[in-house]
Structures are given as structure tokens and as C-alpha cells.
Amino acid sequence: MLVIPAIDLRDGACVRLLQGRFDAVTQYGDPFVQVRRFAEAGAQWVHIVDLDGARARKPAQVDLIGRLAAETNLKVQSGGGVRSREDVEALLAAGVDRVVTGSVAVRAPQEVRQWIDVFGVERICVALDVRQTQEAFEVAADGWAANGGATLEQALSAYPPNALKHVLVTDISRDGALDGPNTALKQYIRRIRADLALQASGGVASLDDLAALKAADVSATIVGRALYEQRFTVEAALAV
């Protein structure tokens, strides 16, 4: 299982939001300092989110993301506001290795499948950010501000085997809360879609959480606030 440190960008600074709320922001300083720390600790990838882009529904910090990508030898996975093929091309040209798209992936999966056909399964990651209701896990959109109009199962079914490889699933209720990941959700996804390389996000607070996700056969885990709050180090996480 890969452990992928996260950098969320707002107005050029490294921040973390609680459950995607822009009124619940914690500042963590210079993103260049963070990306260098992650590289020096032995990480292979970094996950960079353009929060301004997510809010504007169009990438807003492509130049900064490109400079961060050039700062180290880390591979970069990045998204936030990606709505078009041109957005994908701009991020890839800036030095991003894998582009993350969410809202369009749910609302126009046929378009995202075309991107995958053009750029390849390694260059696109579909992000499904979900909230649990009494009936199902509902997928959110537009920076988590709106309902995506599909359940998790419906969203996944729009990408048959071989049409998609990388999927990032976030339990919104756990994001930034440091109350543990939803391992049952991840285990369920592995049962119904064993063909996908599943990335988990939301709730990781301890090394035991990472071990539980590894046991759930997750391919990669995105870790943010737990690192910034020094619950554990990147080195310790990689050892798990």
C-alpha cells in the first residue's frame, strides 16, 4: 500500500479543511517546505488539491502546482476543478503525473472515459466523495457543495472493468476529523470492484489506521492532517 502525503492549496498556502468546509480552515504554511519534507522522508507520491480550483470549478493554481512538481522527484497526483480535457492537458503539461477529476466523473462519465482513452488509465484518477444516507452512499460534487446525483454504486458502474484503473474514495464525514477511516466502506468497494486500484482518504489518525486500510487491501492512502498534527511521521507511515 502506498502512503501519499497530501497538500491542499488555498491562495498559494498549504491548508486543511474540516469536511470540505471553507469556514473551517487550518493553515500549515509554505507548500514548498512541505513537499520537500515529504520527499526527504522517502515518499514516492504527493497528492495536491487545488481548493481554489474546486471552488471556482476550474483549475486556479496550475502554475504553482507545476512549480511544486518541479521542486522534487516526487510523482504528483493533482486535481481540483478539473472539468474539461483542456484542464487535464494543462495539468499534465505542468508536470502532474496523474490528474484527479470528481464532479465530471460522476455527471459525465462518458467524457471522462474518453479522457482515459486518450491519456491512458495511469494518468486519470476518478474521485468519488461520498456521504452516507439511510439508503446508500451518495456522491457529492462541486467541491462537496452539491449532490452529484448518483450513489457510489451507480458512479462505479459507469466505469466497467478496463475503462478505469485508479479511483479515490473519500468519506466526507471523516475528512480532516482524525476519527479513523471507514474501513468497512473500503472493504465493500474491494468486494464489488476488485479490478480497481483503490485509494482511501479521510479520517486517518494513527499508524493502526494505516494498518487497517492495508488489511482492507487498499492500494494507496492519502494522509493529510495526521502528518501536519504530528500524529506520526512519513517515515513511520511508510514502514507500515
Q: How far is CA 107 from CA 128, 158, 161, 164, 205, in A?
A: 11, 10, 19, 16, 32
**15 membership: H or E segment, kind and range:** strand 13-18
Closest CA to 127 of 102, 103, 154: 102
Query: What positions carry a catalytic annotation?
Result: 8, 129
Count Cβ atoms below 10 Å from residue 59 Cβ, excluding itself. 26
Is 173 within 8 Å of 201 (Cβ atoms)?
Answer: no
CA distances from 47 to 44, 192, 239 (A): 10, 26, 19
Rounded Cα distance between 188 and 216, Å, is 9
**CA nearest to 91, candidates 53, 45, 39:** 53
CA distance 125 to 214: 20
Count CA atoms closer than 13 A to 77's CA, side-chain side: 25
**Alpha carbon distance 134, 33 (integer Å):** 43
Fill in the amino acid letter for 210: L
